[in-house]
Structure 1
Amino acid sequence: MDTSKKKPEDLRSARWFAPDDLRSFGHRSRMMQLGYAEEDFRDKPVIGILSTWSELNTCHSHFPERVKDVKHGVLQAGGFAVEMPALSVDESFTKPTSMLYRNMLAMETEEIIRSHPLDGVVLMGGCDKTTPGLVMGAISAGVPMIFLPAGPMLRGNYAGKILGSGSDAWKYWDERRAGNITDEEWLGIQGGIARSAGTCMTMGTASTMTAIAEALGLSLPGASSIPAVDSGHQRMGSACGRRIVEMVWEDLTPDRILTDAAVNNAATVAMATGCSTNAVVHLIAMARRAGVDLKLDDLDELGRVTPLVANVRPAGKNYLMEDFYYAGGLRALMKQLEDRLDCSAMTVTGRSMGENLEGAEVFNDDVIRPLSNPVYHEGSLAVLRGNLCPDGAVIKPAACDPRFHVHEGPALVFDSYPEMKKAIDDENLDVTPDHVLVLRNAGPQGGPGFPEWGMLPIPKALIKKGHRDMLRISDARMSGTSYGACVLHVAPESFVGGPLALLKTGDIVRLDLANRRLDMLVDDAELDRRRAEWKSPERRFERGYGYMFSRHVTQADQGCDFDFLQTDFGHTAGEPDIF
């Protein structure tokens, strides 16, 4: 064995299994109780496969089979693999929002790794919050890790139309509300929009975050683009298993990969893909776990100079993730951006990002556009400031009607989701296309948990007149598959006394996208008067995880991590030493 690499006695798992003492006797005997001989696990890297599978997580329904592929690869490379189930934070069924539990998954991931005899981990996720949750926890745990994305599902289909998950649900729901879709058609769309295992096949939050993981250098080249049910995904699972064993011997830990350069690469790639607005919160949280102080203004600066080149819905117009894969996938897109990336950045392959991109090419230049012919001249996101959002807000310019890039209109303010929902279904609601719909008390603490309520539905009174977009503002998030003139993540949130709490129905709101401004046209004296009258709402949780969340979650511009899990909050507990 290469003397520059770890020796068996240096393995982390050796602390559990190697000593000739009573505690290690117990560990070895319990492994034998499971049917393993000492030859199976002694002097070999023990690899944890952290799977976020559950029978309610549709995106990960193929994970039980994929775990077998990973185990096969680990065995091929001379390691010993154990599956370690982790919290399955699914997007479809978790109430009130999966975002409430991202930090729980991050905590669980960190503690699973720290408390068990694992030398390295393969992280299996993909559904929106599982990617950042797993990565955040593994960064803090510090052992070698590799991320295996779930992969997107196959494109949807109904009556000869290609359907995109999420995006077409919103689109056809508006038509349903307008009375343009029959019960039979609605049922057909329902059955055709999600046809296989895998994540949303639009460039929603799932595909955004798996692309970010690959751009950070945490996935094998090309891993984020492979459809979940493609046989290439099985082979990628085995490749991850083989590679993580090598990473353990090389001691290739996350801190060697997650540098300023890696984070900048990931942010650039995100902008070029038409990324979900959720990327802002998750990328900031992951970066800060690695000690990289990424800020909203850094993302806005990249957004101004990075063209959108992935012509994938919802920011793109024509294609879905399956098309993106056939066009060359993320490696091909990153090859287009090569001059804008730091290609010296280290990756899980043990090679640089530049080496990983060698030979990548685009096979359809309408799906992955050249820089000379982008889908949109700037990146996917813009960060706004103003007296409504002094700590920032985000908008997705390419996904909204350009006429709203500069807009001034009266606010129509709702204090809760039920209040908003009742009003927008009222066909006699006094509202015009120039109104600005506002939903507040929907942020990290107010939601609770920062729900995806920011894509406020167009009022039925306007839908029936043919209107399909209007300016909407919220301290909530929205689904990455959404579109429209939606300003999100207003910080500080209204629930903690941010300026959005002072806005009243009828106040004039002005958006100036080019100048990155969002303001309410109310004078300072009046705002001071309203602030003096404002009363803090009651907290939503009185016990359990929600109690901890509401007291320790940071604001949207800080990544919504827990304050006590950030790198500047004390020191890491390190390895258990209580044997």
Structure 2
Amino acid sequence: MTRELRSDQWYAGVDRNAYIHRAWMRRGLPADAFSGRPHLAIANTASDLTPCNSHLDEVAGAVRDGVHQAGGIALDLPVMSIGETQVRPTAMLWRNLAAMAAEEMLRANPVDGVVLLGGCDKTIPALLMAAASVDLPAVVVPGGPMLTGTFRGRPLGCGTDVWRLSEEVRAGTLSSAEFTASESAMIRSRGHCNTMGTASTMALVAEALGMVVPGLAGTPAPDSRLLAEANRSGRLAVDLVALDRRPSTLLTRASFHNAIVALAAVGGSTNAVVHLLAIAGRVGVELTLDDFDRIGSDVPLLVDLQPAGRFLMEDLHRAGGLLAVLREVSDLLDPTALTVTGPPLVDLVAEAPRWDPEVVRDRSAPLRPSAGIAVLRGNLAPDGAIIKPAAASPELLRHRGPAVVFESVEDLRARIDDPDLEVDADSVLVLRGCGPRGYPGMPEVANMPLPRKLLERGVRDMVRICDGRMSGTAYGTVVLHVAPEAAAGGPLSLVRTGDPVVLDLPRRELRLDVPAEELRRRQPPPATTDAYARPTRGWERLYVDHVQQADRGADLDFLTGSSGSTVHRESH
């Protein structure tokens, strides 16, 4: 007996409502479109204003062909698109809005499953959050990284080399003209950043979660194999509906375990932490910051890729991709975690070929033996903060120095290059007011530029602490996601310039070396509180009133948990 499709709730029958639903959709659909054929939404984040996703209409065409070949009906569903490089004040402000809108549209419309097309940093997390909440059969097709560009014979890492070259300009070792000239070579093709930034990381993490056809994540955007696998994903989506294979069967605690292992082994973006916490919250998996440290901190870094290494995403793809990486750490994977194609992930990595041992290292010769995300706690971060040791300077991972405090991004920009700024290489730069509430949206500003006068002396890294985020393409000894943030009453709001700050990675400690009694007497100065965001209307107001802290994934408090696909009222 054929299982009833969800779309039949709209189309089956001879009453007025069914007539209206069918009649308005008879614009090119075949006569049998409403006779037991599954309807698949293609949730597409293509936009000219999201340059990394601008090619996704072509990918959607390949998905559409696959859906039709498998007997389904493919339907475009435009999804709010967020371009990391374009929107202000920060793309993270709208991740939850995009997730909420996608969830509501999937629930409201007569679709039986969905293919999720994302690329730029926030789009895949938003789509996964939506899919987890509505729990319709779903598969992710990542848009893929750009090809490697070169400038004067040297490969350029998108994002990472922007940070590096811009600091050299400020240091006086590179001219502004040379810096500008590199711009034309930085973005060689369509696709997202070619470093292990957040976009690359989230594509690989989505595959580790089991939500991507194994082997697809990391395929370069211009590669014809991306379209072939998009077609395959469209055909698979039809099967997922028939099998009733939903995100809730794939997004288990076991799959999040594997995602954390993958995150560490590839040297992935710190942003993956806040996204994985949010996705887990939507599907009801109890995931905490401590899980990232417990599971991932001793995982070896195996991918020699910027910003932690030398190569770029095109190299990782030719070297064997994520499956080749996970084969080296297969003993660390949870064997019970399934993939969207059916088999457990651990079964698929067993025979994965590794074509370039320089790009994907052997387990016995890692880039770093223990390089996963580390979680720090102490009187500066009672609910935790994180650091990426793979992108940090080893000599700074145990450090004590005086704080130099900046009240806001604007304050930082105004004073960081002041020749009278009292700062030296031992100082600890502290930037606050950049958390989910304070900015709002938790911008990627934690990797603060170093003071010009120190750059001119050859300094290239310092300890930096912030309640915001940093780009996955960035590097440095940066402590970020400090929770609670300053605007939520966190101790970061009490730090004063000159206070001794202690970072001790081996002890997982971040503390202010100030007596507890002194801290209890302190109040945040007006300069701190005056800089917090105070929106009065619209999405920003809703966001500030309901956003959770970084250690909870910075989701909205009323969006955690799965609410299913049932529509409880009908309009006609």
User: What is the TM-score when the length of structure 1 is the normalising length?
Assistant: 0.96
Give 3-state SS (helix, strand or coil) of 1:511's partner.
strand
Cα distance, 1:451 vs. partner? 0.4
Question: Is the 8 Å Cα contact of residues 107 and 565 (structure 2) preserved in structure 1?
Answer: no
Question: Is the 8 Å Cα contact of residues 22 and 34 (structure 2) preserved in structure 1?
Answer: no
Aligned length: 569
CA-to-aligned-CA distance 1:507-543 (integer Å, 9 cap, x gap): 0101111000011111011101104888955652111
Question: Is the 8 Å Cα contact of residues 493 and 524 (structure 2) preserved in structure 1?
Answer: no
- Corresponding residue number in structure 2 for 1:63: 56
Aligned mates of 1:118, 1:225 — CA distance in 2? 28
Match 1:25 to one of 19, 22, 34:
19
2:36 equivalent to 1:52: no
Aligned mates of 1:50, 1:271 — CA distance in 2? 29
Question: Is the 8 Å Cα contact of residues 440 and 533 (structure 2) preserved in structure 1?
Answer: no
Question: Is the 8 Å Cα contact of residues 50 and 122 (structure 1) preserved in structure 2?
Answer: yes
Question: Is the 8 Å Cα contact of residues 432 and 493 (structure 2) preserved in structure 1?
Answer: yes
Match 1:350 to one of 327, 336, 342:
342
- Corresponding residue number in structure 2 for 1:325: 317
Aligned mates of 2:263, 2:498 — CA distance in 1? 37
2:293 equivalent to 1:300: yes
2:187 equivalent to 1:194: yes
CA-to-aligned-CA distance 1:92-130 (integer Å, 9 cap, x gap): 101110000000011011111100011000000021111
Q: Which amino acid aligns with 2:553?
A: G
For residues 363-402 of structure 1, the aligned pairs below 5 Å read: 363-402=355-394
2:266 equivalent to 1:280: no
- Corresponding residue number in structure 1 for 2:165: 172
Question: Is the 8 Å Cα contact of residues 387 and 499 (structure 1) preserved in structure 2?
Answer: yes
For residues 555-570 of structure 1, the aligned pairs below 5 Å read: 555-567=549-561
- Corresponding residue number in structure 2 for 1:433: 425
Greater CA drift, 528-537 or 279-288: 528-537
For residues 432-451 of structure 1, the aligned pairs below 5 Å read: 432-451=424-443
Q: 1:151 to 1:427 in 2, by over 3 A?
A: same
Match 2:494 to one of 494, 502, 523:
502
For residues 84-95 of structure 1, the aligned pairs below 5 Å read: 84-95=77-88
2:217 equivalent to 1:240: no
- Corresponding residue number in structure 2 for 1:212: 205
Match 2:258 to one of 265, 272, 294:
265
Cα distance, 1:283 vs. partner? 0.6
Cα distance, 1:38 vs. partner? 2.8
Aligned mates of 1:314, 1:479 — CA distance in 2? 10
- Corresponding residue number in structure 2 for 1:454: 446
Aligned mates of 2:333, 2:401 — CA distance in 1? 40
Aligned mates of 1:515, 1:415 — CA distance in 2? 28
Aligned mates of 2:317, 2:129 — CA distance in 1? 27
Give 3-state SS (helix, strand or coil) of 1:378's partner.
coil
Q: Runs of 4+ in structure 1 displaced over 4 angstroms? A: 532-539
For residues 142-157 of structure 1, the aligned pairs below 5 Å read: 142-157=135-150
Question: Is the 8 Å Cα contact of residues 496 and 536 (structure 1) preserved in structure 2?
Answer: no
Q: Which amino acid aligns with 2:546?
A: H
2:65 equivalent to 1:72: yes
Give 3-state SS (helix, strand or coil) of 2:539's partner.
helix
Aligned mates of 1:150, 1:504 — CA distance in 2? 45
- Corresponding residue number in structure 1 for 2:546: 552
- Corresponding residue number in structure 2 for 1:481: 473
Aligned mates of 2:492, 2:180 — CA distance in 1? 39
Question: Is the 8 Å Cα contact of residues 135 and 564 (structure 2) preserved in structure 1?
Answer: no
Q: 1:41 to 1:237 in 2, by over 3 A?
A: farther
Question: Is the 8 Å Cα contact of residues 16 and 117 (structure 1) preserved in structure 2?
Answer: yes
Match 2:407 to one of 390, 408, 415:
415
Give 3-state SS (helix, strand or coil) of 2:117's partner.
strand
Aligned mates of 1:162, 1:464 — CA distance in 2? 25
CA-to-aligned-CA distance 1:528-577 (integer Å, 9 cap, x gap): 11048889556521111111100110000010011101129xx6573344
Match 1:135 to one of 117, 125, 128:
128
Identity of aligned residues (%): 45
- Corresponding residue number in structure 2 for 1:107: 100
Question: Is the 8 Å Cα contact of residues 136 and 285 (structure 1) preserved in structure 2?
Answer: yes
Q: Which amino acid aligns with 2:484?
A: P
CA-to-aligned-CA distance 1:268-323 (integer Å, 9 cap, x gap): 111111011111100111112111111111111123321111111112x2111100
Question: Is the 8 Å Cα contact of residues 497 and 536 (structure 1) preserved in structure 2?
Answer: no
- Corresponding residue number in structure 2 for 1:117: 110
Cα distance, 1:41 vs. partner? 4.2
Cα distance, 1:343 vs. partner? 2.7
Q: Which amino acid aligns with 1:575?
A: V
Question: Is the 8 Å Cα contact of residues 305 and 359 (structure 2) preserved in structure 1?
Answer: yes
CA-to-aligned-CA distance 1:315-356 (integer Å, 9 cap, x gap): 2x2111100000000111111121111233221102221333
2:351 equivalent to 1:359: yes
Aligned mates of 1:530, 1:133 — CA distance in 2? 39
- Corresponding residue number in structure 1 for 2:333: 341
Q: 1:441 to 1:532 in 2, by over 3 A?
A: closer
CA-to-aligned-CA distance 1:11-57 (integer Å, 9 cap, x gap): 0111111121101101111112x232432343201000000011111
Cα distance, 1:193 vs. partner? 1.0
Q: 1:26 to 1:532 in 2, by over 3 A?
A: closer
- Corresponding residue number in structure 2 for 1:541: 535
Question: Is the 8 Å Cα contact of residues 257 and 347 (structure 1) preserved in structure 2?
Answer: yes
Question: Is the 8 Å Cα contact of residues 271 and 302 (structure 1) preserved in structure 2?
Answer: no
Question: Is the 8 Å Cα contact of residues 302 and 379 (structure 1) preserved in structure 2?
Answer: no
Give 3-state SS (helix, strand or coil) of 1:68's partner.
helix
Give 3-state SS (helix, strand or coil) of 2:439's partner.
coil
Segments of structure 1 that go 5 or more residues without pairing to the other structure are none
Aligned mates of 1:311, 1:249 — CA distance in 2? 41
Give 3-state SS (helix, strand or coil) of 2:115's partner.
strand
Question: Is the 8 Å Cα contact of residues 494 and 524 (structure 2) preserved in structure 1?
Answer: no
Segments of structure 2 that go 5 or more residues without pairing to the other structure are none
Question: Is the 8 Å Cα contact of residues 330 and 350 (structure 2) preserved in structure 1?
Answer: no
CA-to-aligned-CA distance 1:407-447 (integer Å, 9 cap, x gap): 11110001011111111122342210011111000000001
Match 1:464 to one of 442, 456, 459:
456
Q: CA RMSD in A?
A: 1.5
Q: Which amino acid aligns with 1:130?
A: T
Give 3-state SS (helix, strand or coil) of 1:384's partner.
strand
User: What is the TM-score when the length of structure 2 is the normalising length?
Assistant: 0.97
Give 3-state SS (helix, strand or coil) of 1:410's partner.
strand
CA-to-aligned-CA distance 1:158-200 (integer Å, 9 cap, x gap): 0001110111100000111122222432122111111111111
CA-to-aligned-CA distance 1:216-260 (integer Å, 9 cap, x gap): 000001111200100000101101100000110111011111111
Question: Is the 8 Å Cα contact of residues 208 and 279 (structure 1) preserved in structure 2?
Answer: yes
Question: Is the 8 Å Cα contact of residues 103 and 562 (structure 1) preserved in structure 2?
Answer: yes
Q: 1:400 to 1:111 in 2, by over 3 A?
A: same
